[in-house]
A = this chain, B = another copy of it.
Amino acid sequence: MKKNLGILGILLAVCVVASIFGDNFLTGYNLQNLTQRSALFGILALGASVVIVTGGIDLSIGSVVCLAGISVPWLLVEHEWSPWAVVPAVLAGSALIGLFHGLLITRLRLQPFLVTLCGLLLYRGIARWMTGDQSQGFQGEFDSVRALALARFPVGLEAYSVPATVIPLVLLAAALAVFLRRTVWGRWLLATGRNESAARYSGIPTDRLVTGAYVACSLFAGLGGMLFIFDIGSAQPSDFGNFYELYAIAAAVLGGCSLRGGEASVVGVLLGAATLQVLRTAIILLGLSSQLEFAVIGAVLLVGVSADELVRRLRERRAERAAAP
């Protein structure tokens, strides 16, 4: 919990600045938007964190978002599949992608970075080729399916209703938290991430766990991709999801995951994802030039994590001094 204080601090600081100096930050509509976007990126970040726990990395998240997302309108509109077939098919395809990564990594012992980098190229290439670089959209139809992302549930507040994407996010986050902290498999995953040989010597099926982690990550990315395109309505295969893996991994790392594996905090990851989205919106509501967006995000994160680290040290030193004679 203490580890999450840092990222919580950054998030709150950004919120405070945005609500004091920005226009209409604390309106229901804005908060609703922020919830939606944080939920979408949060799902990707949760997936990324599962892989990061194993000490691996998944660079293909953005491309899986693209391929899975693009496939939905492509199948629905161009190929006139039924929505009842499309959603499971896309999710199954995403899981297969993860399985493919997992097997290459555990069986052939290829480096995760390399495998998923090839994935990054491959799936985007497939998406572009499949659609002929034509953007895919719902053309104003399929609102009932898109409700999976677009529905809003009133909670008694006037301007704020809960976006539907919060449901999968909360379910996944809760499941992941319980999995990591309360189940044997989760514990084994943590052990595998930190010291694979210790886990193997303890009779843990490390290969299967690692493969499972990649499956989960791609599955989350596929689900995210679907929800993204439900939300946006259409997408261009050449740029949909570009860099999303970096946002997802950044959220996970901000939330306290170590890229060396074995550490994760579900709450932290969600806070990390939210921070990135709030930052982006804050820049607009503060009236900063959108050219500055990247610079501001980079600088705020850097200052934030550095400050967090410095505070941690200071506290440690003070504790030590208190214990001294």
Contact = CB atoms under 8 A, between A and B. Distances in A.
Given A108-B310, A132-B291, A296 B253 contact: no
Given A111-B259, A246-B117, A253-B113, A122 B289 contact: no
A299 B122 contact: yes
Interface stretch (A15-23, A209-217, A301-309): A301-309
A171 interface: no
A295 interface: yes
B289 A129 contact: yes
Contacts of A259: 111, 113
A268 B297 CA distance: 36
Interface residues of A, number: 46
Nearest to A114: B253
Contacts of A28: none
- Looking at chain A's contact residues, the main secondary structure is helix
A122 B253 contact: no
Contacts of A299: 118, 122, 125
Nearest to A124: B294
Contacts of A249: 113, 117
Contact of A125 (B117, B126, B292): B292
Most B C-beta atoms less than 10 A away, residue of A115, A289, A295, A297: A295
A175 interface: no
Interface string A98-140: 0000001000111101110111111111101100110000000
Contacts of A88: none
A274 interface: no
Given A298-B121, A302-B122, A291 B128 contact: yes
Interface in A243-274: 246, 249-250, 253-254, 258-259
